[in-house]
Amino acid sequence: MSECKRRRMIAGNWKMYKSQAETRAFFEAFLPLVADVTDLDIVVAPPYTSLGVAVDLADGTNVGVSAQNLDWRKEGAFTGEVSAVMLKDAGCQYVIIGHSERRQYFGETDSGVAQKTKAALDAGLTPIVCVGELLQDREQGRTEAVLSQQFIGGPGSLTADEFSRILIAYEPVWAIGTGKVATPEIAAAAHRFLRQCVAEQYSAEHAAAVRILYGGSVKPENIQGLRAQEDLDGALVGGASLDAKSFADIVKCK
Ligand code: 13P
What pLDDT is attached to residue 133? Answer: 97
Tell the residue nearest (CA) to atom 7 of ligand 1: 238
pLDDT digits (tens, 9 = 90+) for 210-249: 999 999 999 999 999 999 999 999 999 999 999 999 999 9
The answer to whether residue 3 sits within a structural domain is no
What pLDDT is attached to residue 161? Answer: 98
pLDDT at 2 over 70: no
Count of domains for the chain: 1
How much distance in Å is there from the Cα of 21 to the middle of ligand 1?
Answer: 22
The answer to whether residue 127 sits within a structural domain is yes
Could you say which of 99, 101, 133, 191 is catalytic?
Answer: 99
Instruction: Give yes or no: 139 in active site.
Output: no
DSSP per-residue string spanning the chain: -TTS-PPEEEEEE--S---HHHHHHHHHHHHHHHTT--SEEEEEE--GGGHHHHHHHHTTSSEEEEES--BSSSSSS-TT--BHHHHHHTT--EEEES-HHHHHHH---HHHHHHHHHHHHHTT-EEEEEE---HHHHHTT-HHHHHHHHHHHTGGGS-HHHHTT-EEEE--GGGTTSS-PPPHHHHHHHHHHHHHHHHHHS-HHHHHH-EEEEESS--TTTHHHHHT-TT--EEEESGGGSSHHHHHHHHT--
Quickly state the pLDDT bin for 4 (edges 50, 70, 90). Answer: low
The answer to whether residue 219 sits within a structural domain is yes
Structural domain that includes position 31: 8-252
The CATH number linked to 163 is 3.20.20.70
What pLDDT is attached to residue 254? Answer: 85
The answer to whether residue 211 sits within a structural domain is yes
How much distance in Å is there from the Cα of 18 to the middle of ligand 1?
Answer: 15
Mean confidence (pLDDT) of the chain: 96
The answer to whether residue 1 sits within a structural domain is no
| Residues contacting ligand 1 via CB (< 6 Å) | 13, 99, 171, 176-177, 215-218, 236-240
pLDDT at 1 over 50: no
pLDDT at 67 over 50: yes
pLDDT digits (tens, 9 = 90+) for 8-35: 999 999 999 999 999 999 999 999 999 9
Could you say which of 101, 133, 171, 191 is catalytic?
Answer: 171
Candidate from 97, 176, 178 with most ligand 1 atoms within 8 A of CB, to mutate? 176
| Over residues 128-136, mean pLDDT | 97
pLDDT digits (tens, 9 = 90+) for 149-169: 999 999 999 999 999 999 999
Q: Can you tell me which atom of ligand 1 is nearest the CA of 178?
A: 4
The answer to whether residue 158 sits within a structural domain is yes
The answer to whether residue 2 sits within a structural domain is no
What pLDDT is attached to residue 5? Answer: 85
pTM for this predicted structure: 0.97
pLDDT at 3 over 80: no
Q: Can you tell me which atom of ligand 1 is nearest the CA of 175?
A: 4
